[in-house]
Amino acid sequence: MSFDFDHAVVAPFRMQPGLRRLHAGAAQLTPARPGARHQREKLAVLGAFAPQALVADPRFDPMPALHALAAHAATEHPRHLAWDGVRARALGVAVDAAGGVAHESAGAFGQGDEVARCLRALPAGWRLAGLLALAFEEDFAVVDGERGTIPWLAVALPSQWAPEAKVGRPFAEVHAPVADNERLLAAGAHLLRLVTGPERWERFVWTVTPHPRLHAHPARVDSWPVTTGAATIASQAWWRTERQTFIPLPALRQAVFTIRVQVLPLAQAIDAPARAAALHDAIASMSDAVLAYRGLAGVRDTLLAWLRRRADAPRA
């Protein structure tokens, strides 16, 4: 996983920005393997729920940021995506400046028919975004540092938040539902200056959830089982993480925000006593407000009991 466990899972747990600089040469995008989990779920979401995943402030022109994202992707992964300033090609499919879709049968990445059908069903202005979303595991949004808003989102795999409810809203409103958000809100203006400046940044987010899918729109998420024994909870718990990065566009005071979601069974992710101990201490230190916000209030004690036993287990 791209998630940095040792950096991100600490106690006491605090809701804070947690930004760190990306070192030179660090990749920000992950090519989606044809037919693999990220691509399958994104195709399903774009086919059934595109108006919830692809949202924009109608007054905002996303094309400069979208073209910069395509150029960045082609530089970082030239074998996966080609970009000539007018046309992006990946997965055996090309999208031109007018939103025309061409299925290139010689494409090396397969799935071309299904991807082309999906893109043609989207409005023309969203097809380049759709191609980039299907070519990479990451979701994308544009941060506007001038206005302090998120005016454009292509987010097929949200983590229990609704993209359509966030678009165009100020930073403080977007993060108002976050529990214990005082530090985050206080740093809002500074964060916007950082991520829309010349440097590249990343941060990590994690939670434990009963929801097994990458797509976790709040209208379509699973609940914890009624049985609350530690073994039952642990067997149905999932370790959900995000690596978030910012591709800066300082001349525009914008940044492309990338979100890579990964989900693993909890028992697979927490595979060593040290990890179990670290996660135990982080969850044990969460406030009641954070536990409620993350949906962990009802299972906190059983999760802690399971983690304590795992932390104390002798090494194999």
Report, in angstroms and rounded to the nearest whole number, the Rg of the chain calculated over CA atoms: 20
Q: How far apart are CA 171 and CA 176, in angstroms?
A: 8
pLDDT grade for 229, boundaries at 50, 70 and 90:
confident
Instruction: Please choose, from the candidates 38, 206, 58, the residue with its C-alpha nearest in 3D space to the C-alpha of residue 133.
Output: 38
Q: How far apart are CA 88 and CA 97, in angstroms?
A: 9
Q: What is the DSSP string of 221-261?
A: -----S---HHHHHHT-EEEEEEEEEEEEGGGTEEEEEEEE
Kindly report, residue by residue over 236-248, the tens digit of the pLDDT: 999 999 999 999 9
Confidence (pTM): 0.94
3-state secondary structure of 307: helix
The domain locations on the chain are 1-19+138-311, 29-137
Kindly report, residue by residue over 48-59, the tens digit of the pLDDT: 999 999 999 999
Q: Are strands 201-209 and 20-21 parallel, antiparallel or unpaired?
A: antiparallel
Residue 260, pLDDT above cutoff 90:
yes
pLDDT grade for 106, boundaries at 50, 70 and 90:
very low
